[in-house]
Structure 1
């Protein structure tokens, strides 16, 4: 009986246990809620501020949210009486083992950091990743980069593939050059064709005057003289100019009295008597 009384007296107060667990649960819930609110606040501030590059927002948000959550979990464990110092040491050893097992994942994380630091691509830019695909950059995450193709299909590439591949950025510069090849028949007036196309590009509202647009002869083919139209336009207007020139340039040549460059072949018929005499002589 004395031993039973001593054991019962050593047990903590049930009311105290409930309060202790309630406070611990409150710390967990409040900390988790604060981390989510902090992530939303960061995204809201980034959306309203023109000085913050939207490319870095997803990664910074994820790092911040999980940093707060890790601190909250350590505080909860300390509240429950767990020795956090030994736990941190154990987590460090586990992190080393996990890092060795997940080298590819860590490489993706490091590549994501390099993409954010050096900024070869940014959210909203249209880029082509050599041999991997092309599209508008939607988000650079901790391990993956998300693109949206021109047809609306979403593609995800590991950060190492993006960082380790040639990147062609079509949106970084404000202007782009457009080259268009057009054919003129040999028996048409070449000077009239050049003047007509030059007048077309000089009057076009979306073609820049500096650098000046050029219309020049590029090469000679079997039945066609190839004329090159070389103009500059704003990157945002590039495809509008591209499609408009392909529609209006042939129309302008037809209105000037020039014919479409249809491939021609000259076929000569040798009379049968002449062919026989030629064969006999041979």
Structure 2
């Protein structure tokens, strides 16, 4: 094959595929630029709206790879490759992978929902997924809790998002409830006045909403009061502990008894 024949072949190839090659290069350049710029714009928008960094990073990476995948398909189409069949193959492969990893994908979806809607934040005490504890971390796959005795609990996000979430730290105030029993022989009004005085004396109890002290039950061995007091969320347990102790000590001084279940046994003897 002489030089003239080679030159003719090169000219023929360049004439037939030259525009396609140039178009593919242009598509690659534009696609690469877009894949870098779009995530930056998305990142700025999500930062302004206060979206969690974990979620924003995940969405930005997803957008970048999606744009690159579309760019690759456009390049193949430029050379006449039937992308419809390729898309069908990729779709089938994606479906198979999705079915195999459906548990993991549900956890990722749950993590995204938790990070976007923020039903709980780090430091909140919650009950979620059948467990209770203080939230230490929320990732795309798991939620980490620390129980009251400082045991780490890792819950898949699919379980957390798919169940009821009770956030005890969400509101700044919280109602503290006590049930106090006195003997049937004791003075109900006197006991109520003592509880009322102790609540008012503790500065951690709120004036509004007003506290409630009412007889709720005539039990087997006691007359039971329900005591409801509003306080700051952080004072819930300190106030509950202090009031319980103060009520017991003051009842002892004032001669009001707190009964406990008793059982009378009659011994039968044969004559």
Settle same-fold status: TM greater than 0.5: yes
Q: How far 1:58 moved relative to its partner? A: 3.7
Q: How far 1:259 moved relative to its partner? A: 2.6
Within 5 Å, which residues of 2 pair with 1:166-185? 166-185=164-183
Distance 1:141 1:59, change over 3 A: farther
Q: How far 1:92 moved relative to its partner? A: 5.6
Q: How far 1:263 moved relative to its partner? A: 4.0
Between the aligned partners of 1:134 and 1:268, the Cα distance in structure 2 is 46
Contact 1:202 1:213 in 2 (8 A): no
Between the aligned partners of 1:98 and 1:113, the Cα distance in structure 2 is 20
Within 5 Å, which residues of 2 pair with 1:1-282? 52=50, 56-61=52-57, 95=94, 97-130=96-129, 132-263=130-261
Unaligned runs of 5+ in 2: 1-42, 69-74, 77-85
Between the aligned partners of 2:116 and 2:58, the Cα distance in structure 1 is 16
Between the aligned partners of 1:144 and 1:66, the Cα distance in structure 2 is 20
TM-score, normalized by length of structure 2?
0.65
Distance 1:263 1:103, change over 3 A: closer
Between the aligned partners of 2:99 and 2:258, the Cα distance in structure 1 is 66
Q: How far 1:260 moved relative to its partner? A: 3.3
TM-score, normalized by length of structure 1?
0.63
Contact 1:59 1:140 in 2 (8 A): no
SS at match of 2:178: strand
Contact 2:55 2:116 in 1 (8 A): no
Between the aligned partners of 2:133 and 2:234, the Cα distance in structure 1 is 15
SS at match of 2:180: strand
Q: Once superposed, what is the RMSD of the aligned Cα atoms?
A: 3.5
Distance 1:222 1:106, change over 3 A: closer
Between the aligned partners of 1:237 and 1:118, the Cα distance in structure 2 is 27
Between the aligned partners of 2:214 and 2:61, the Cα distance in structure 1 is 59
SS at match of 2:223: strand
Unaligned runs of 5+ in 1: 1-41, 75-84, 277-282
- 1:78 matched residue in structure 2: none
SS at match of 2:220: coil
Indicate the larger mover: 194-203 or 258-267: 258-267
Q: How far 1:162 moved relative to its partner? A: 0.6
SS at match of 2:111: helix
Between the aligned partners of 1:102 and 1:267, the Cα distance in structure 2 is 64
